Amino acid sequence: MKTAHDLVAAAKARVQEIQVADAEQAIRDADVLVDVREADEFAAGHLAGAVHISRGMLEFKFSANPALQARDLNILLYCKTSGRAALAAAALHDMGYLNVRSISGGFDAWAAAGKPVAKPETPSFE
């Protein structure tokens, strides 16, 4: 029986991961930057310009959104530590997307490197 770790390792063998040091350029080059974490994780902080599509809804959202259906989109994914992003990248490859990469180490590596984190502003009611 395979474990989640086995599935992530198999996905990482199939997908291209980029290092945090190269991520800023990859973000500029991407057509879409996707945070595949859960909504509460995204709300706590995310990479500027990222759209939130949780791992569980990824295939459905990409299939339903005409702006995301071109198979030659340059897609960059990330999650907390890179496991969910690797699984998501493998799924998108299986759907026929040609240019899918993920950030090695994910959001945690990005934040640990001192890179900027976007947080939604709390509205003021004053």
| Per-residue pLDDT tens digits for 47-93 | 999 999 999 999 999 999 999 999 999 999 999 999 999 999 999 99
Question: Which position has the higher pLDDT, 99 or 122?
Answer: 99
Tell me the CA distances in angstroms from 27 to 30, 32, 112, one per residue in order.
5, 8, 18
Query: What kind and span of H or E run contains 76?
Result: strand 74-78
Which of 4, 94, 82, 70 is CA-nearest to residue 36?
Answer: 82
| CATH class, 4-112 region | alpha beta
Output the pTM of the full model: 0.92
Give the tokens for residue 18.
Answer: 């980029």
Give the tokens for residue 19.
Answer: 């290092």
Which of 76, 79, 73, 74 is CA-nearest to residue 56?
Answer: 79
Residue 40: the pLDDT is 95
Task: Band the pLDDT of 120: cuts 50, 70, 90.
Answer: confident
Please report, for the chain, the start and end positions of each structural domain, with discontinuous segments joined by +. Answer: 4-112
* Residues with active-site annotation: 79
- Tell me how far the alpha carbon of residue 67 is from its chain's centroid: 17
